[in-house]
Amino acid sequence: MDIRSIMRSAPVIPVIVVEELAHAVPLARALVAGGLPVLEITLRTPVAIEAIRAMSEVPGAIVGVGTVTTPEQLREAEDAGARFAVSPGLTSSLAAAARASRIPLLPGVATASEAMIAMEYGFTALKLFPAQQAGGIGMLKALAGPLPQLVFCPTGGLTPENFRDFLALPNVLCVGGSWVAPKQLVEAGDWDGITQLARAATV
Ligand code: 3PG
Protein backbone atom coordinates (compact mmCIF):
# COMPACT_ATOMS: atom_id res chain seq x y z
CA MET A 1 0.00 0.00 0.00
CA ASP A 2 1.22 3.50 -0.71
CA ILE A 3 1.29 5.96 2.14
CA ARG A 4 -1.76 7.96 1.05
CA SER A 5 -3.87 4.78 0.91
CA ILE A 6 -2.70 3.86 4.39
CA MET A 7 -3.50 7.37 5.65
CA ARG A 8 -7.00 7.11 4.16
CA SER A 9 -7.63 3.72 5.80
CA ALA A 10 -8.55 5.21 9.19
CA PRO A 11 -9.07 8.70 10.65
CA VAL A 12 -6.73 8.05 13.58
CA ILE A 13 -3.42 6.18 13.74
CA PRO A 14 -2.91 5.00 17.32
CA VAL A 15 0.64 5.75 18.48
CA ILE A 16 1.45 2.66 20.51
CA VAL A 17 4.08 1.89 23.15
CA VAL A 18 4.19 -1.86 23.84
CA GLU A 19 5.86 -2.50 27.20
CA GLU A 20 4.95 -6.20 27.41
CA LEU A 21 4.88 -8.50 24.44
CA ALA A 22 1.81 -10.27 25.82
CA HIS A 23 -0.16 -7.05 25.33
CA ALA A 24 0.66 -6.74 21.62
CA VAL A 25 -1.91 -9.04 20.00
CA PRO A 26 -4.91 -8.24 22.24
CA LEU A 27 -4.19 -4.54 21.86
CA ALA A 28 -4.06 -4.81 18.07
CA ARG A 29 -7.28 -6.86 18.05
CA ALA A 30 -9.02 -4.31 20.30
CA LEU A 31 -8.08 -1.38 18.05
CA VAL A 32 -9.02 -3.20 14.83
CA ALA A 33 -12.35 -4.18 16.41
CA GLY A 34 -12.98 -0.53 17.21
CA GLY A 35 -12.38 0.51 13.60
CA LEU A 36 -8.76 1.63 13.77
CA PRO A 37 -6.72 -0.85 11.68
CA VAL A 38 -3.64 1.33 11.06
CA LEU A 39 -1.25 0.93 14.00
CA GLU A 40 2.04 2.72 14.67
CA ILE A 41 4.25 0.69 17.00
CA THR A 42 6.93 2.96 18.41
CA LEU A 43 10.51 1.76 18.79
CA ARG A 44 10.65 2.86 22.40
CA THR A 45 10.72 -0.45 24.20
CA PRO A 46 12.91 -3.55 23.92
CA VAL A 47 9.96 -5.65 22.68
CA ALA A 48 8.86 -3.26 19.93
CA ILE A 49 10.22 -5.28 17.00
CA GLU A 50 8.74 -8.52 18.33
CA ALA A 51 5.47 -6.69 18.89
CA ILE A 52 5.43 -5.59 15.23
CA ARG A 53 5.98 -9.20 14.20
CA ALA A 54 3.13 -10.44 16.40
CA MET A 55 0.64 -7.66 15.63
CA SER A 56 1.20 -8.07 11.88
CA GLU A 57 -0.53 -11.45 12.16
CA VAL A 58 -3.76 -9.91 13.48
CA PRO A 59 -6.42 -10.02 10.74
CA GLY A 60 -7.22 -6.59 9.38
CA ALA A 61 -4.33 -4.81 11.08
CA ILE A 62 -2.04 -2.57 9.02
CA VAL A 63 0.99 -2.46 11.27
CA GLY A 64 3.72 0.14 10.93
CA VAL A 65 6.76 1.20 12.88
CA GLY A 66 7.16 4.55 14.60
CA THR A 67 9.98 6.57 16.14
CA VAL A 68 12.31 5.49 13.32
CA THR A 69 15.44 7.63 13.36
CA THR A 70 18.04 5.48 11.59
CA PRO A 71 18.28 3.38 8.40
CA GLU A 72 19.03 0.31 10.53
CA GLN A 73 15.76 0.69 12.42
CA LEU A 74 13.85 1.01 9.17
CA ARG A 75 15.38 -2.20 7.81
CA GLU A 76 14.84 -4.11 11.05
CA ALA A 77 11.16 -3.13 11.22
CA GLU A 78 10.63 -3.92 7.56
CA ASP A 79 12.12 -7.37 8.13
CA ALA A 80 9.72 -7.84 11.05
CA GLY A 81 6.74 -7.17 8.79
CA ALA A 82 6.08 -3.45 9.20
CA ARG A 83 4.07 -2.12 6.26
CA PHE A 84 4.91 1.54 6.75
CA ALA A 85 7.28 3.64 8.82
CA VAL A 86 6.93 6.92 10.67
CA SER A 87 9.78 9.16 11.78
CA PRO A 88 9.76 12.22 14.02
CA GLY A 89 11.96 14.08 11.51
CA LEU A 90 13.97 13.49 8.35
CA THR A 91 17.67 13.06 7.67
CA SER A 92 19.47 12.47 4.37
CA SER A 93 20.43 8.94 5.44
CA LEU A 94 16.85 8.07 6.40
CA ALA A 95 15.55 9.46 3.10
CA ALA A 96 18.07 7.29 1.24
CA ALA A 97 17.06 4.24 3.27
CA ALA A 98 13.41 4.93 2.52
CA ARG A 99 14.16 5.03 -1.20
CA ALA A 100 15.80 1.61 -0.93
CA SER A 101 12.96 0.23 1.20
CA ARG A 102 9.82 -1.56 0.01
CA ILE A 103 7.66 0.16 2.65
CA PRO A 104 6.67 3.84 2.58
CA LEU A 105 8.01 6.38 5.08
CA LEU A 106 5.89 9.13 6.62
CA PRO A 107 8.54 11.63 7.71
CA GLY A 108 8.00 14.24 10.38
CA VAL A 109 8.35 17.97 9.72
CA ALA A 110 7.70 21.01 11.89
CA THR A 111 8.46 23.97 9.60
CA ALA A 112 7.98 25.10 5.99
CA SER A 113 11.69 24.61 5.29
CA GLU A 114 11.59 21.04 6.60
CA ALA A 115 8.54 20.38 4.43
CA MET A 116 10.41 21.75 1.40
CA ILE A 117 13.43 19.55 2.15
CA ALA A 118 11.11 16.54 2.44
CA MET A 119 9.62 17.49 -0.95
CA GLU A 120 13.13 17.57 -2.44
CA TYR A 121 13.50 13.96 -1.29
CA GLY A 122 10.19 13.11 -2.96
CA PHE A 123 7.87 13.04 0.05
CA THR A 124 4.50 14.79 -0.28
CA ALA A 125 2.68 13.01 2.58
CA LEU A 126 4.15 14.19 5.86
CA LYS A 127 3.64 13.92 9.59
CA LEU A 128 3.37 17.32 11.26
CA PHE A 129 5.25 16.75 14.50
CA PRO A 130 4.82 17.80 17.21
CA ALA A 131 1.59 19.04 15.70
CA GLN A 132 0.03 21.06 18.46
CA GLN A 133 3.32 22.51 19.64
CA ALA A 134 4.40 23.38 16.08
CA GLY A 135 1.33 25.51 15.50
CA GLY A 136 -1.57 23.12 15.21
CA ILE A 137 -4.58 24.01 13.11
CA GLY A 138 -3.31 27.49 12.24
CA MET A 139 0.01 26.06 11.05
CA LEU A 140 -1.71 23.52 8.77
CA LYS A 141 -3.97 26.19 7.30
CA ALA A 142 -0.97 28.44 6.71
CA LEU A 143 1.03 25.69 4.98
CA ALA A 144 -1.87 24.84 2.63
CA GLY A 145 -1.46 28.12 0.69
CA PRO A 146 2.19 27.96 -0.40
CA LEU A 147 2.51 24.14 -0.30
CA PRO A 148 -0.80 22.86 -1.70
CA GLN A 149 0.68 19.56 -2.89
CA LEU A 150 1.30 18.38 0.67
CA VAL A 151 -0.96 16.27 2.88
CA PHE A 152 -0.39 15.71 6.58
CA CYS A 153 -0.90 13.37 9.50
CA PRO A 154 -0.64 15.77 12.45
CA THR A 155 0.62 13.96 15.55
CA GLY A 156 1.59 15.17 19.00
CA GLY A 157 -0.73 16.90 21.42
CA LEU A 158 -3.96 15.76 19.79
CA THR A 159 -6.87 14.85 22.07
CA PRO A 160 -10.38 13.38 21.88
CA GLU A 161 -11.56 16.98 22.03
CA ASN A 162 -9.49 18.52 19.23
CA PHE A 163 -8.70 15.77 16.71
CA ARG A 164 -11.87 16.31 14.65
CA ASP A 165 -10.88 19.94 14.03
CA PHE A 166 -7.64 18.66 12.49
CA LEU A 167 -9.45 16.04 10.39
CA ALA A 168 -11.73 18.74 8.98
CA LEU A 169 -8.79 20.44 7.23
CA PRO A 170 -8.46 19.64 3.51
CA ASN A 171 -4.70 18.96 3.78
CA VAL A 172 -5.13 16.48 6.66
CA LEU A 173 -5.75 12.84 5.66
CA CYS A 174 -5.55 11.36 9.16
CA VAL A 175 -4.17 12.16 12.59
CA GLY A 176 -1.96 10.28 15.03
CA GLY A 177 -2.28 10.05 18.77
CA SER A 178 -1.67 7.96 21.84
CA TRP A 179 -5.00 8.68 23.53
CA VAL A 180 -6.68 5.63 21.97
CA ALA A 181 -4.19 3.23 23.59
CA PRO A 182 -3.55 4.71 27.04
CA LYS A 183 -1.01 3.05 29.33
CA GLN A 184 -3.48 2.52 32.18
CA LEU A 185 -5.97 0.59 30.04
CA VAL A 186 -3.22 -1.47 28.40
CA GLU A 187 -1.68 -2.38 31.77
CA ALA A 188 -5.12 -3.29 33.12
CA GLY A 189 -5.82 -5.44 30.07
CA ASP A 190 -9.00 -3.43 29.49
CA TRP A 191 -9.30 -4.36 25.81
CA ASP A 192 -13.02 -3.54 25.69
CA GLY A 193 -12.22 -0.08 27.01
CA ILE A 194 -9.67 0.37 24.21
CA THR A 195 -12.17 -0.81 21.61
CA GLN A 196 -14.60 1.80 22.93
CA LEU A 197 -11.98 4.54 22.72
CA ALA A 198 -11.19 3.48 19.15
CA ARG A 199 -14.87 3.46 18.21
CA ALA A 200 -15.28 6.95 19.65
CA ALA A 201 -12.42 8.10 17.41
CA THR A 202 -14.15 6.90 14.25
CA VAL A 203 -17.45 8.75 14.65
C1 3PG B 1 4.47 10.45 20.08
O2 3PG B 1 5.46 10.43 19.40
O3 3PG B 1 4.42 10.07 21.25
C4 3PG B 1 3.25 10.93 19.39
O5 3PG B 1 3.49 12.16 18.86
C6 3PG B 1 2.04 10.89 20.22
O7 3PG B 1 1.83 12.08 20.83
P8 3PG B 1 0.62 12.22 21.84
O9 3PG B 1 0.96 11.36 23.02
O10 3PG B 1 0.58 13.66 22.18
O11 3PG B 1 -0.61 11.72 21.12
Domain layout of the chain by residue ranges: 3-198
- Rounded to an integer, what distance in angstroms lies between the CA atom of residue 109 and that of residue 111? 6
pLDDT for position 199: 98
Distances (CA, A) of 57 to 50, 70, 100, 129, 148: 12, 25, 25, 29, 37
* Closest by CA position to 40, among listed 124, 104, 133: 104
Residue with CA nearest ligand 1 atom 8: 156
pTM for the model stands at 0.97
- Rounded to an integer, what distance in angstroms lies between the CA atom of residue 16 and that of residue 63? 11
- Closest atom of ligand 1 relative to the 131 alpha carbon: 5
- Rounded to an integer, what distance in angstroms lies between the CA atom of residue 24 and that of residue 195? 14
Q: Which residues of the chain have a pLDDT value below 70?
A: none
Mutate to test the pocket of ligand 1, among 109, 178, 183, 184 (most ligand atoms within 8 A of CB): 178
pLDDT for position 203: 87
- Closest atom of ligand 1 relative to the 157 alpha carbon: 10
Respond yes or no: is residue 183 known to be catalytic. no
Residues whose CB falls within 8 Å of the CB of residue 70, separated by 6 or more in sequence, listed in order: 93, 94
The residue annotated as part of the active site, out of 78, 127, 141, 161, is 127
Number of H helices, E strands in the chain: 11, 8
CATH number given to 3-198: 3.20.20.70
Longest dimension (CA), the chain: 46
User: What residues are in contact with ligand 1 under a 6 Å CB criterion?
Assistant: 15, 129-130, 155-158, 177-179
Q: Are 64 and 15 in contact (CB under 8 A)?
A: no
Give me ligand 1 centre to Cα 177, in Å. Answer: 5
Mutate to test the pocket of ligand 1, among 109, 155, 161, 183 (most ligand atoms within 8 A of CB): 155
pLDDT for position 13: 98
- Rounded to an integer, what distance in angstroms lies between the CA atom of residue 195 and that of residue 154? 22
- Closest atom of ligand 1 relative to the 178 alpha carbon: 11
Respond yes or no: is residue 127 known to be catalytic. yes
